[in-house]
Homo-oligomer: A and B are copies of this chain.
Amino acid sequence: MAKIVGGIGSSHIPAIGVAMDKGLEDTPYWRDFFQSYVPLRKWFNEVDPDILVIFYNDHGLEMFLDKKPTFAVGTAAEYENADEGWGINPIPPVRGETELSWHIVNELVENDFDPTVCQEIKVDHGLTVPLTLMYPAKDYSKVKVIPICINCERHPMPKLSRSYAFGQQIGRAIESFGGDQKVVVMGTGGLSHQLDGERAGIINTEFDLLCMEKIVSDPEYLTKYSLEDIVELAGGQGVELNMWMAMRGCLTGKVTEGYSNLVAPISNTAAGIQLLINE
């Protein structure tokens, strides 16, 4: 059976992509952030996963308001990135994994989730930045990626409890898939930040640290927060915590922390970096 060996929490902001494009990793502003990926990548390279499931949100490349899914699951054999207007260079196409994707979709629908199923979508920086952080040389042609998109742009958004349950169902689906594939799941985005309004710029590292602690030991605890609570505590875009909850939901075994750091400010955000081992 396929095995989920671990989960990674990571920021996905465009500025990271730009910094990598420009080779700024070792500048004072970026050094501590990129240093945090050294232990993550060491583990990741040793695992050398066959399949990478990436929970992300689409910031306006593919999932526009005309037809906006709450949850979308990619089932394509390949995904393209594209110009988003931010000045990040689009990355080469990402390989998909159709078989496991369809298995996940089947299990989701069988268990009363209502995903939008995507056979042809472009993936935005929410996915490409974390992918590139794992493969800085962009040598990701071997790994198969399953993009799973969660609405974080327009209320109503899925509750933390729903994203967690969504992840749990996906985890069960993966673990019931025949074969001996090694799977890593990524929850991307966050943590505390607010881009808009007179309150722009708030960061709440105390709350972020609480989230990173609870996500290891007691993720259910976090489902007590409504998204309005999250906005109040962690800023308007703090709702990207939903992707971390879905990632954590996938880890159905005994979960321990392999690495953890919080670096702020990275652009307008507190960037959480976390490795969860699933046994």
A116/B70 in contact, CB under 8 A: yes
Q: Which residues of B contact A105 (CB under 8 A)?
A: 156
Q: Please count how many residues in chain A sit with their CB below 8 Å of the partner chain's CB atoms.
A: 32
Residues from chain B with Cβ under 8 Å of A120 in the complex: 65-67
Chain B residues within an 8 Å CB radius of A106: 156
- Across the interface, which residues of B come within 8 angstroms of A108, CB to CB? 156
Q: Which of A62, A156, A162: most chain B CB closer than 10 A?
A: A156
* Bound form: Cα–Cα A109–B70 in Å: 8
Number of copies of this chain that the complex holds: 2
Q: Do A65 and B119 contact each other (CB < 8 Å), given the known contacts A109-B156, A156-B106?
A: yes
- CB-contacts of A63-101 with B (<8 A): 65-72
Residues of chain B with a CB closer than 8 A to A231's CB: none
Instruction: Please tell me if the beta carbons of A156 and B110 are within 8 angstroms of each other in the complex.
Output: yes
Cβ-based interface call for A279 (8 A): no
CB distance from A18 to the nearest CB of B (A): 28
In the complex formed, the residue of B with least CB distance to A120 is B66
Is A2 among interface residues, defined by CB-CB distance under 8 A?
no
In the bound complex, residues from chain B placing their C-beta under 8 Å from that of A68 are 116-119
Chain B residue with Cβ nearest A74:
B67
Point out residues on A near B: beta carbons under 8 Å.
62, 65-72, 105-106, 108-110, 112-121, 154, 156-159, 162, 165-166
